Structure 1
């Protein structure tokens, strides 16, 4: 699966024969045309450049692609790929410009722009659409979902908490096992880490190190799962919990324990809140109780209420109740942007601070998104035929929302927001699109700290 020539749609292989005679350059752009969220957090392009565009194509790649295309029934531009191999040592003669990674940009704006740098390779610009668009839309969409969740949580924390100190750890990535592939887990998991620091996604940690130079992009804690608790048997439930405290408790330490393998209310009222109460209170650390079933907006407030009945609470400066530092709750079942809002609303109505809760999000974070979540598209917008540049666009009367942009594009900042303009209409304004790739070279590298600002 490492052959870049075959990292495309089948019909793309025939497009080199479809452009007007004497076509020299084609320019295309990527945008989010709209969707669920009014803005997108642009992210992931540097990872794609490092992983895919920094490796040259080889004769073996050309031979394989030639054989596959012949058997598949589509044309193959062998001479074009051999030209790239011979003249550019196998690196793609393209220039890619992009918005700053990590920037939150309103939908309807150009996020990246690509054109060929060699007039003999005009067909290459659109050839890379499949790989390039996929590389951008997925991590950008996950980053956007995560940022939207952060905005929801931050709003409730502003209302019910004294500080926002705990915000970076309020949403934990539980999605690795539900992702479609290890690469998806890594790319989407990195997108989440632009807004939060909690994750159980080691693939994302390694990708952030490899592609953006992060020393450590996220953190986790020891935590139980149902198998480690139920392996003690129903009669050994209290012993299983005690073992978690013995193994992982202590001064300044945090441990999470799923507590509804049998009866959540019994676990809270009689085991944690009675039999093991003194150990929890005197450990010097924090025990995080995890419910894992039921209707979240009902279970979470009731869980907190029962814990307060056993462990007490304080009233913060906003007038909301907060559990003591030794005990907290994490909800990891049925979590999405809507349920986060519903849970926090139910808690607020009962006078409970958002300080009491953290969330874990799985498939809703990494898997339940698609290209149409933010209506991503890559379209050609300009072509040079001979010595003349002209606009390229689509304008379907059946769907004005699919009307594409025209000409070479630029992205400017105006009154704190981003606006797309034609490149020939910049009039001295700074173009926020910067060249990040040209002919095999990664330019204007960005590091993890810059992306997370």
Structure 2
């Protein structure tokens, strides 16, 4: 990947558009208020720093970019890029500050701030907006959606489960890999989800956690059936297909998930699991996880819990809620969104069942049905330094849309009243700035582990 070509077309003419006395530009990234969440869980910048900004620009890159951009109809700043290669060995002369990854902050809080460290490269901080903003908005949005779902599930478990802390990490499973556009997106979004949970079927997320966040094994899964492995037996041998799953994977302390709606979910639960294979399920010493995969997502999984309760029995926990026989549980993996999770768990509680009976798998709703506007992410210039070293605040404030007004002056983030608050850096005083340098002139200054990030997010 040629680093010079990782931008938008109009960026290539911007080097000639700044005032001639400009020595530096500062810009920041925030999730502006008014999106789908009031808070944002910051995550993912480190992947970009390691994967992309660690790659030096070469003269071959300059030659290729000049040929493409001029043919594209735009001016090309060859002198600037040549100087970057000769003076800085191809590394971008930038200082990037950021909040600690895993921090949960109110929208409107600066998450990242960047400026150039060499006055000849004042045009560079905003040139990388396309790549840098993309590197932040997507994983932070997925992490935020996942964290929001965690809060919904955690609240229900607190009300209905005796040991909510032990159950919570595996209540939301990532089923989203096939719904993403690429291996890279699945890895980035998948590891963002793993900030909050331990369950995933997105293997690329494990790769990214190991490569970028020093986590040998970030998530876990269990043997599970898909429709092809069940329907290949034919409807007349559905019982044999299910029995084979028990034979191959069930055992003391083990879990196996079986999709059971290939033909008739209610018949499968009542007759096959409830009669023909009931003794084998109970004798296995493990847990059968029944997966309904069609129908009304807010009704069918609750019906499944009710049926399994009638067949396999249940106990009352200390909070007065019913808990299925440990031999059976349910996972809902179709039509799952944070809102359906809220509705399902609410109905489950209303019918006297603990939230621990049911897990969720979220696919496209987790990794794909998000965009930059989900949290209204933006990167905007906030200050310009002149050749005398003086900083001047700059911002946009459109009368046609006051919600798009940006912050003026270089920013800092402080704790005030127990909450993060954005202030102008010039007004920081002796307060601690939570925006800390993470990258300078090609060097990674902080290397967060996933364990550290998880701990920070869990305490938010």
TM-score normalised by L of structure 1:
0.99
Pairing partner for 1:402 from 390, 394, 404: 404
* Equivalent in the alignment of 1:129: 129
Matches of 1:375 and 1:263, distance apart in 2 = 43
Is 1:323 aligned to 2:339, yes or no? no
* Equivalent in the alignment of 1:53: 53
* Equivalent in the alignment of 1:208: 209
Matches of 1:301 and 1:452, distance apart in 2 = 31
Is 1:84 aligned to 2:84, yes or no? yes
CA deviation string 1:131-163 (max 9, x = no partner): 000000000000000000000011111111112
CA contact (8 A) 1:394 1:404 kept: yes
* Equivalent in the alignment of 2:375: 374
- Aligned pair count? 452
* Equivalent in the alignment of 1:10: 9
CA deviation string 1:214-265 (max 9, x = no partner): 0111000000000000000001100000000111100111110000000111
Matches of 1:143 and 1:227, distance apart in 2 = 32
Matches of 2:408 and 2:131, distance apart in 1 = 23
Matches of 2:85 and 2:213, distance apart in 1 = 28
* Equivalent in the alignment of 1:437: 439
What is the 5 A alignment of 1:415-426? 415-426=417-428
Matches of 2:376 and 2:61, distance apart in 1 = 33
> SS state of the match for residue 166, structure 1?
helix
* Equivalent in the alignment of 2:176: 175
Q: CA deviation at 1:415?
A: 2.7
What is the 5 A alignment of 1:64-143? 64-143=64-143
More displaced stretch, 242-251 vs 406-415: 406-415
Matches of 1:304 and 1:184, distance apart in 2 = 34
CA deviation string 1:342-389 (max 9, x = no partner): 111111111111010000000000000000000000000000122121
More displaced stretch, 47-56 vs 383-392: 383-392
> SS state of the match for residue 156, structure 1?
helix
Matches of 2:21 and 2:307, distance apart in 1 = 75
CA deviation string 1:301-327 (max 9, x = no partner): 111111111100001111111101110
Q: CA deviation at 1:62?
A: 0.7
Matches of 2:230 and 2:58, distance apart in 1 = 53
* Structure 1 vs Structure 2 CA RMSD: 0.7
More displaced stretch, 270-279 vs 414-423: 414-423
Matches of 1:255 and 1:59, distance apart in 2 = 55
Matches of 2:343 and 2:411, distance apart in 1 = 41
CA contact (8 A) 1:20 1:385 kept: no
CA contact (8 A) 1:30 1:379 kept: yes
* Equivalent in the alignment of 2:30: 31
CA contact (8 A) 1:13 1:76 kept: yes
Matches of 1:115 and 1:166, distance apart in 2 = 44
**Structure 2: runs of 5+ lacking an equivalent:** 456-460
Q: CA deviation at 1:416?
A: 2.3
Matches of 1:209 and 1:434, distance apart in 2 = 24
> SS state of the match for residue 359, structure 1?
strand
Matches of 1:389 and 1:429, distance apart in 2 = 20
CA deviation string 1:286-307 (max 9, x = no partner): 1100000000111011111111
TM-score normalised by L of structure 2:
0.97
CA contact (8 A) 1:56 1:90 kept: yes
* Equivalent in the alignment of 1:286: 287
* Equivalent in the alignment of 2:185: 184
Matches of 1:306 and 1:184, distance apart in 2 = 38
CA contact (8 A) 1:27 1:382 kept: yes
CA contact (8 A) 1:28 1:380 kept: yes
CA deviation string 1:388-425 (max 9, x = no partner): 21111001011111110011111111232110111111
Q: CA deviation at 1:181?
A: 1.5
Matches of 1:279 and 1:102, distance apart in 2 = 44
